Amino acid sequence: MRRGCFVVIEGLDASGKSTLVRDLTNAYRREGHPLTTVREPGGTRLSEQVRRILLDTHDNLTAQAELFLYLASRSQLVEEVIRPALKRGDLVLSDRFSLSTLAYQIGGRGLPARDVISADRLARNGIKPDLTIMLTVTEAEARRRKSKARLEPDRMERESQTFFRNVRAEYRRRSVNQRRLCVIDSAIGIDRVFQEAKSQIDRRIRQGQHV
């Protein structure tokens, strides 16, 4: 039986996550690799409805309500899409997963780490990434990229610089001594980021095939 491989692309907004997911998706499809691509929040009918609530600039959510909405979306995505795809033997590429929750809800919102980790474990229901690739970006570069994109910021993107500094710090804390996590500086350029990320994923797929 083929074993699926679950790969998550993480990082702050404007770090290049979506571009990397797109490029990896195109590359593995060209190679004929069985592939499922998802995003968080989102990926199912219910999860996309939750996404609209979470990113709506008119909604004033409490930190706890925000956490539970993210986890409700994740739980539905895991059971409806991710787990079946892994059972089929697919490579599953996800734009964000649990590490985002730890960074944003613990670091950004200040919720108790033990409670957030426990709630996320329940939502994941045994599913965890085989590999997480975290893209880093400086504050100055993130601002430049957002300004260049000229997109209307969503509810999360409207948060303060202090909020995002706390999120960035939590990402750093959570990345220390993580065996299944690879950190890539997005400043090296789109092509090199892609090459490094694909090399890491290919290596993980090969390891999984021999387990």
Write down the domain spans for the chain: 5-209
Q: Average pLDDT for residues 2-12, to the nearest whole number?
A: 91
Confirm if 136 and 95 have CB atoms less than 8 A apart: no
pLDDT at 20 over 50: yes
Nearest to 137 by CA among 98, 83, 190, 58: 190
pLDDT at 150 over 60: yes
Provide CB contacts within 8 A for 1, sequence distance 6+: 89
pTM tops 0.75, yes or no: yes
Assigned token pair, 171: 């990402």
Q: If DSSP codes are grouped into helix, strand and coil, which group holds residue 116?
A: helix
Query: For residue range 89-126, what is the model confidence (pLDDT) as tens digits?
Result: 999 999 999 999 999 999 999 999 999 999 999 999 99
| Phi, psi (deg, nearest 5) at residue 111 | -75, 155
Task: Please give the pLDDT value at position 151.
Answer: 75
CA distance 64 to 131: 28
CATH topology of domain 5-209: Rossmann fold (3.40.50)
pLDDT at 128 over 80: yes
